[in-house]
Chains A and B, each alone.
Chain A
């Protein structure tokens, strides 16, 4: 049973436009959400996170939105740049314990120059 779902395996966006990556989760107990970026032949790199007590977190060109009632979060990248081309993983975590992180299957973003 996949608790974190990224239903779009790929996304293509023109340079300078907005990229919107979506993620749905099923476990209402998740209280911390993260986005990771992964380039080929490299490990994932942490990008941005959001606590369940917030509905928005912004860091430069990256903004994550959380809709708890819909169990949905999204990552907005504005403006998109060719260097943003990578696989983006959504992840969710439960506080306490060993900080288990559940990952989605990833969305491959291609930013076209």
Chain B
């Protein structure tokens, strides 16, 4: 059973506000990821981390930033939300070694910026 949590599940916020989407996992996974998904579209990788103090940008350019101060925690921050940031944000984690590439996903945060 995967244990990865995201809060809030739903967020409606006004333009210009600063927001932080929380993601935590209790599996001790070194690798963590943030994806953005719009309805009917594929998941786009926006950030990933190999471990503590390691963060990299993904394929899709994003104005968000991430931090990885603790293994279990990988928050995503938007300094100034805009309507174009409206989307679903999915956090995932995986083990760093082995031949399996299964990622375990959290339930997602549905963000709406008005």
User: Which one of A12-20, A68-76, A97-105 is at the B interface?
Assistant: A97-105
Q: A43-B108, A44-B90, A98-B50 are in contact. Are A49 and B102 (CB under 8 A)?
A: yes
Is B79 close to A, CB under 8 A?
no
CB distance B42 to A104 under 8 Å?
yes
User: B110: nearest residue on chain A (CB-CB)?
Assistant: A41
In whole angstroms, what is the CA distance A61 to B90 when docked?
28
**Alpha-carbon gap, A25 to B84, bound state (A):** 29
Q: Which of A9, A43, A46, A99 contacts B90 (CB 8 A)?
A: A43
- Interface membership of A64, Cβ < 8 A: no
Q: Determine the chain B residues whose CB is within 8 A of the CB of A49 once the complex forms.
A: 100-102
Tell me the smallest distance from the CB of B111 to a CB of chain A, in Å: 14
18 other contacts beyond A43-B105, A46-B103, A101-B101, with CB at 8 A cut-off? Answer: A32-B101, A34-B102, A41-B9, A41-B108, A41-B110, A43-B4, A43-B92, A43-B106, A44-B43, A45-B2, A49-B101, A49-B102, A51-B99, A95-B99, A98-B50, A99-B94, A100-B45, A101-B45
